[in-house]
Amino acid sequence: MIKLKELEDKSKLIRKWCLISTTEAESGHPTSCLSAADISAVLFDKYFTYDISDPLNLFNDRFVLSKGHAAPLLYTLFGMAGAYPLEELKTLRKFGSRFEGHPVPEFIYADAATGSLGQGLSVAAGLALVAKRENFPTKAYVLLGDGELAEGQVWEAANFASYHKLDNLIAILDINRLAQSGETMFGHQVEKYVERFVAFGFDVTAIDGHNFEEIDNALERAVNNKSGKPVAIIAKTYKGKGISFLENKDGWHGKALKKEELQKALTELGAIDDALQFNLKKPSQTRSVEKIISNDTADLSFEKNKTYATREVFGEALTQLGKKNTAVYVLDGDVKNSTFTENFLKVFPDRFVECYIAEQNMVTVASGLSRLGKIPFVATFAAFLTRAADQIRMARISEANIKFVGSHVGVSIGEDGPSQMGLEDIAMFGALPGTIILQPADAVSAAKLVSQMIDHNGFVYMRTLRPKTAVLYEATQEFTIGGSCILRQSASDILTVAASGITVFEALKAADDLRKEGINIRVLDCYSVNPVDKSMLIKCAKETKKQILITVEDHFVHGGLGDFIIDAVSGMNIQVEKIAVPQISRSGSKEQLLNMAGIDAAGIIASINKLINTQKMQVAKMAL
């Protein structure tokens, strides 16, 4: 049984504060909140189980607002649950407020930043998956809008949820017909959504989203779901519901009411008691998310005269470290035999998440895992991480603690051709503030840097190589975020070549070839691409005759290692010459493609000769 009058009042109070807060802010999406007010009211009043004083209690239910622009709804719900006084909602969208235009981590009740549409179902699926795997009796609720159902990621997540039998996942679809610039693809044809979610393996109930009885029945059924399927409650609603001049009207998306319109709306709502609250059900137990700090290193040894693929070493190291740190989860997009996360799967199937070829969902599921204290490793081809660029961006805004591993970087992959080459991945990750980027060239550095990835709290991206490479380092060598290693040096070095990954070997070959001609160059392995080892770069440049740094990398010209280095030494009167992949590559052998790009030993030597000759000519000119 539901208390109809009380629910009506509470949903009116939700409406009131969604309207007041957006009018105060002079922007926002009040009508997008109003359509979901009734269903949210029932959820929070009767079903949502949550300790408001402990958002990270693992026995809490979860509530993800996928339609992030309805943020005032989220803020009002938690306010009515006692998290803060509703009056504080008047700071909505103002500088310094925890109530931002779209939810961000500063609002501690948000499980992820939302606002780029179509990502919430994946977050909730990640939350539900952890609960399933670790036997928490909790539900993951997610409120989606209808406009965002056009995003493919929603269907990736839907497949994922039904495949993994996430019957603790409850998706509530707010089908309010109107999107930003007009009607959605299907308007109020609710059956279109029913057909789709049924086909994707959900237990589906279609309801009138403004009928409290129907809402209650659907939620009751959902929390007692024994179908083995995730649940979709598809609610036909009206945008702007409850206010006559807004309800189901075009042209009101993303518009706050003017003061006088607000007064009219509040008059329509009538007197409402601001003291009305949701007394959330308390979770049965308390167990907080805790961060496991292991500081372990993988115990791997490599033979000096053998070659190893860093991607394979990564897989082995991760598996070893997974024994020591049970927070480590691994997510795969059907390339586990290429990234070598299959090693981890064999030992820890319970912490391995097969996401199939759906990178967007994979990344956002990882965001959900991170929220519950896991340390998710997302590994696929570097090229295919670009498929999830927006999800990576949003996970970064969410402050998720995700480790990304991109294999098959650069033209060195050879015959498969440009579609498979990761050549813009450093630019993508590098743009995101505070993202660590690592690229080990050999087995020793690869193994050691995996533990650094785990220990660092925040985004880390590691590039791994397809080809096998020689062992460069002794087992005792240390590798740290921000570090680098000198591989060739002499007292008479004329300049420094700063390389990373596969180009380290080309730089070494160039150094050896030049030495035969009596020219010494220094070679620096910049295994830490960001932060790059600024002091060492400056030291190397200053110690060499020409004070020149040549950067060489298997990445496109813009946004890669070279730009990090130029930036790091800017203003130090050091000349930097960038060598990188100048154009779309093609199929061929590794050697042919490195050569075509000008990033092999021959390319490095040519660049050095050109620099020397140019300087000679300049000197000659000056002498004239």
User: What part of residues 51-70 is at the interface with its own copies (CB under 8 A)?
Assistant: 68
Quote the CA–CA distance of 327 and 133 in Å, as a whole number: 12
CB of 92 to its own copies, least distance (A): 8
Annotate each residue in 466-495 with x if it binds its own copies (CB under 8 A) or - if it does not, as one string.
------------------------------
Using the minimum distance from each CB to its own copies, give the nearer residue, 12 or 590: 590
Quote the CA–CA distance of 295 and 310 in Å, as a whole number: 21
**Residues numbered 279-318 forming contacts with its own copies, rule: CB under 8 A:** none
- Is residue 420 a contact residue for its own copies (CB under 8 A)? yes
* DSSP alpha helix (H) spans, 26-109: 30-34, 37-42, 71-80
- Is residue 606 a contact residue for its own copies (CB under 8 A)? no
CB of 86 to its own copies, least distance (A): 19
- Is residue 352 a contact residue for its own copies (CB under 8 A)? no
- Is residue 583 a contact residue for its own copies (CB under 8 A)? yes
**For its own copies, which stretch binds (CB under 8 A), given 130-138, 364-372, 494-502, 580-588?**
580-588
Report CA-CA distances (Å) from 354 to 168, 252, 351, 407, 612. 19, 42, 10, 17, 53
Determine the length of the chain: 624
**For its own copies, which stretch binds (CB under 8 A), given 24-32, 293-301, 314-322, 517-525?**
24-32
Quote the CA–CA distance of 417 and 589 in Å, as a whole number: 10
- Is residue 458 a contact residue for its own copies (CB under 8 A)? no
**For its own copies, which stretch binds (CB under 8 A), given 190-198, 203-211, 282-290, 479-487?**
190-198
Quote the CA–CA distance of 218 and 80 in Å, as a whole number: 23
**Residues numbered 147-186 forming contacts with its own copies, rule: CB under 8 A:** 147-148, 150-156, 159, 163, 179-182, 184-185
Which tokens sit at 321?
A: 């470290």
CB contact burial 444-462 (16+ within 10 A = b; e otherwise): bbbbbbbbbbbbeeebbbb
**Residues numbered 494-553 forming contacts with its own copies, rule: CB under 8 A:** 530
359 classed as catalytic: yes
**For its own copies, which stretch binds (CB under 8 A), given 23-31, 209-217, 502-510, 515-523?**
23-31
Q: 151, 156, 316, 359: which is the annotated catalytic residue?
A: 359
**For its own copies, which stretch binds (CB under 8 A), given 35-43, 54-62, 440-448, 578-586?**
578-586
CB of 619 to its own copies, least distance (A): 15
Instruction: Give the position of tokens 């925890």.
Output: 98
Annotate each residue in 87-106 with x if it binds its own copies (CB under 8 A) or - if it does not, as one string.
------xxxxx--xxx-x-x
CB of 378 to its own copies, least distance (A): 15
Which tokens sit at 423?
A: 């050549």
CB of 584 to its own copies, least distance (A): 6
Contact 340, 316 (CB under 8 A): yes
Using the minimum distance from each CB to its own copies, give the nearer residue, 269 or 572: 572
The beta strands (E) that lie in 135-184 are given as 140-145, 169-175
**Residues numbered 353-382 forming contacts with its own copies, rule: CB under 8 A:** 356-361
CB of 290 to its own copies, least distance (A): 25
CB of 226 to its own copies, least distance (A): 22
Q: What angle do CA 68, 360, 353 make, to 5 degrees?
A: 110
Helix and strand totals (H; E) in the chain: 22, 19
Of the candidates 220, 273, 299, 415, which one interacts with its own copies according to CB under 8 A?
415
Which tokens sit at 110?
A: 């948000």
* DSSP alpha helix (H) spans, 143-269: 152-163, 190-199, 212-223, 259-269
Quote the CA–CA distance of 114 and 69 in Å, as a whole number: 8
Which tokens sit at 240?
A: 């702007």
Quote the CA–CA distance of 436 and 456 in Å, as a whole number: 9
So which residues are the catalytic ones?
359
